[in-house]
Structure 1
């Protein structure tokens, strides 16, 4: 890592812990900053704060006292999930204290070039595809960022021969100043996280931050299936490299049954190791990045053909008595479930759906639900999901939780069928996160195998 002097003897407040905050605090301390960590969880319930205190880092826990900001801090490193209307953040900005997220720190210390991936759907799968292809091509792609590995931690051990492949959320991108990837990808944009951003325009602006420091020597990979991307293509200094499943573009595209990059056939669409039209888009984005990085087509084809997906994202969980199980617990919105269903023959799918009731109906999902063999419905949103099932003419059963749903779905399936957990809803009515929901599904599949 670069041992920069930017933070030496400067007072820095790290607001919010979790993995990224803990990593940022330790990094700043190693760079000579005078670090204070503030986290809302009480000290006795906060092992991360306890550990940092043992290392000599000041911690303030159990609340967010505004008077803490009277200590002349020169920087705030904010947990991405903390909104900008949080009183601590508001006060910091009023006092002209710069507010960043830890991906900014990662950029400042990284010896490795950075490939940044953002978007509404597909970014984790695309990030993982890119990292695997680069590694297969001898470029060692290191997963980092919103994918579960704090960027400021991974960057500390990355060398100049590595590549940081960084998944970036809109929340993280709102907190950058100098962050500068050499290649950036925006997989797609849909109206999500509007409770945080307030409007789609503000959400899109946060995502667009990924390219704000890019130059003509850099590459911005955009999804030309979306009019938004075409409109924005002229508003960046970076070289735009498009991908599309709908038209031939000067980048990566689908023509017939084959994926191309600038006229060169790379692989057949049905060779991609994970199903669904959305994964063709993800693969095209990965192909664009790989080719821009000098990876040969045979390596790309071999790697993407062997790609087994990402946990909880249309993850193949096994086959029992001819019935295949797929865990798509990460599908927390309608679009994600639409894309998941696109990879299967509905007449052979038993769909498990439902979860947190956010007040929205599922009318948009009805055309994609038509022809399903059956649905198993659960969660707060069950009544709304049943209305959509009725509109689609799909029979359904009720379930109490994911374990019950998986068992009932299996009982309805015949050899050659698919049991698909793709809820189209967040998990928080029943589970602490989508990972826990998905793990229960996977555990039930293992039980059924027994």
Structure 2
């Protein structure tokens, strides 16, 4: 196990367990730190709690009293806990630093660290980068917001292994020294304002990915995003742009026929199996990161000619009687749904709806030109019905849930239609996660067979 050698804090509060908090607490305890754990949900009967007690942790359960701050030098918080939490508000007043688990993981990484963030496309780009390195015979591991706790992976890394981290704004907001050797920032769109309170706060959290970089590091960025190009103006890192609209110096671009990296042709676009124009951005960003970390053109081409997408992200499911089913349950905001709709030229049946966060959905109207039918569900179903009416969509139906929407969508479809689940909303009104929602969609599709 690797040791925390540059972490100067001895008395640590871990606020909120779940997987990342548990991993951070165990790592800190194994490194001789005094750890106090505070969790509102778990009880003393929990195996996780019992394991931490056995390792020497002090446990406070059931509430978040301000007394947990006594003697604390730093807080490692679960990314999902809002900064409105009274303990965190008081910690700020007392000048106690607040970090997330990736700050601990960073201290453990001995070799190359690639960090990838953006409003959309993080998981696809992270997966592509990892696969490109694997196919190039590089030693690589993946973790972070992709669903694998970074600290657990970082503890077992060898010096010649690259760690690829998918990073959310929630994770990045809680960083102090975090510094990837290769940072990737894909795009910035309005998202998670219920957590960050303003678009500017959200942007600043994302920009933490490159804030500590030096002249020895690389910053891969979307040259077509004016917010990003403005934000990185003062970075000390070596800038590596990518663009889907024009040739760029020292980076990756496409002319529509082929993909290039630093004046070298990588492969023809027609060989790529991943559908969707927006995925070209992800592909170019991944090529930049993978090439800088040692990937070969052959390894990159093997991935791009076989990889058809990540689960729940414009994932092809099946062809039934000439209808093409796609699962894009990860589309939890309008922008993601707009990009999904732009991926198809043929008539589309859109299945959409979910948690009502108060968004004005009329912004979708210009993107519904190919939509011949809309089946709505969840809290936003009436909003979607009104949008469909304004857009002049011929077939508008309401469903009880995703499973019912599949049945009704199939009923109004014809041969060569796309039936697309791209909700434009979070899943929490009816499903625990977007993954559960996507799985229900896939199961319902297979019941049609």
> Smaller-chain TM-score range?
over 0.9
Preserved contact between residue 92 and residue 98 of structure 1 (Cα < 8 Å): yes
Q: Paired residues, what number?
A: 447
The aligned runs of 1:348-427 (5 Å cut-off) are 349-394=348-393, 395-427=395-427
Q: Give the aligned partner of residue 237 of structure 1.
A: 236
Residue of structure 1 in register with 2:301 after alignment: 301
Q: Quote how far apart the aligned CAs of 1:119 are.
A: 0.7
For the residues of structure 2 that align with 1:3 and 1:172, how far apart are their CA atoms? 22
Per the TM alignment, residue 57 of structure 1 is displaced from its structure 2 partner at its CA by 2.6
* Post-superposition CA distance 1:346-400 (Å, at most 9, x none): 42x2110111112222222111112312111111111111121112211211110
Contact 1:9 1:32 in 2 (8 A): no
Match of 2:319, SS? strand
Partner residue, 1:144:
143
TM superposition shift of 1:291: 1.9
Q: What is the TM-score normalised by the length of structure 2?
A: 0.95
Q: Equivalent residue of 1:41, what SS?
A: coil
1:8, distance to aligned residue in structure 2 (A): 8.8
Identify if the C-alpha distance between structure 1 residues 114 and 58 changes in structure 2 by more than 3 Å, giving closer, same or farther: same
Equivalent residue number for residue 436 of structure 2: 436
Q: Do 2:322 and 2:416's aligned partners in 1 also have CA atoms closer than 8 Å?
A: yes
Superposed counterparts of 1:141-180, under 5 Å? 141-180=140-179
SS of the residue aligned with 1:157?
coil
Question: What residue in structure 2 maps to residue 327 of structure 1?
Answer: 327
Number of the residue aligned with 1:343: 343
**Shift in Å, 1:47:** 4.5
Matches of 1:146 and 1:260 in 2, distance apart?
A: 29
Cα deviation for residue 183 of structure 1 reads 0.4
Partner of 2:49, secondary structure, is: helix
Cα distance in 2 for residues equivalent to 1:267 and 1:401? 42
Distance in 1 separating the partners of 2:371 and 2:210: 41
* Rounded Cα–Cα distance in structure 2 between residues aligned with 1:112 and 1:167: 17
Q: Distance in 2 between matches of 1:58 and 1:387?
A: 54
**Aligned position for 1:21:** 21
Partners of 1:130 and 1:286 lie apart in 2 by 5
Cα shift at 1:30: 0.8
Moved more, 169-178 or 289-298: 289-298
- Residues 112 and 155 of structure 1 are in contact (CA less than 8 Å); yes or no, is this contact kept in structure 2? no
Q: Please give the alpha-carbon distance, in whole angstroms, between the structure 2 residues aligned to 1:47 and 1:406.
A: 40
Give the deviation of 1:270 after TM superposition: 3.3
- Contact kept, 8 Å, 1:7 with 1:31, in 2: the verdict is no
User: Residue 264 of structure 2 corresponds to which residue in structure 1?
Assistant: 264
Q: CA deviation at 1:46?
A: 4.6
What TM-score comes out, normalization by structure 1 length? 0.95
Gaps of 5+ in 1: none
Are 1:211 and 2:247 counterparts? no
Alpha-carbon distance in structure 2 between the residues aligned to 1:24 and 1:84: 19
Residues 9 and 34 in structure 1, CA contact (< 8 A), matched pair in contact too: no
Aligned to 2:69: 69
2:384 alignment partner, SS class? helix
Partner deviation per Cα, 1:213-246 (whole Å, 9 max, x = no partner): 1111111011111111222232100011111111
2:38 counterpart of 1:35:
no
Counterparts of residues 124-143 of structure 1 (less than 5 Å): 124-143=123-142
Paired with 2:318 and 2:93, the residues of 1 have a C-alpha distance of 54
Deviation at 1:7, TM superposition (A): 5.8
Compared with structure 1, are the counterparts of its residues 171 and 311 closer, same or farther at alpha carbon in structure 2 (3 Å cutoff)?
A: same
Alignment check: 8 A CA contact 2:346 2:418 kept: no
Segments of structure 2 that go 5 or more residues without pairing to the other structure are none
What do the CA deviations read for 1:380-431 (whole angstroms, capped 9, x no partner)? Answer: 1111111211122112111100111112212222332221100011111111
> 2:42–2:49: 8 Å Cα contact kept in structure 1?
no
What displacement does 1:256 show? 2.7
Comparing 153-162 and 410-419, the one that deviates more: 410-419
Give the structure 2 partner of residue 78 of structure 1.
Answer: 77
RMSD of aligned alpha carbons: 1.7
Structure 2: how far apart are the matches of 1:304 and 1:160? 28
Distance change in 2, residues 1:121/1:42 (3 Å): same
Which residue matches 1:2?
Answer: 2
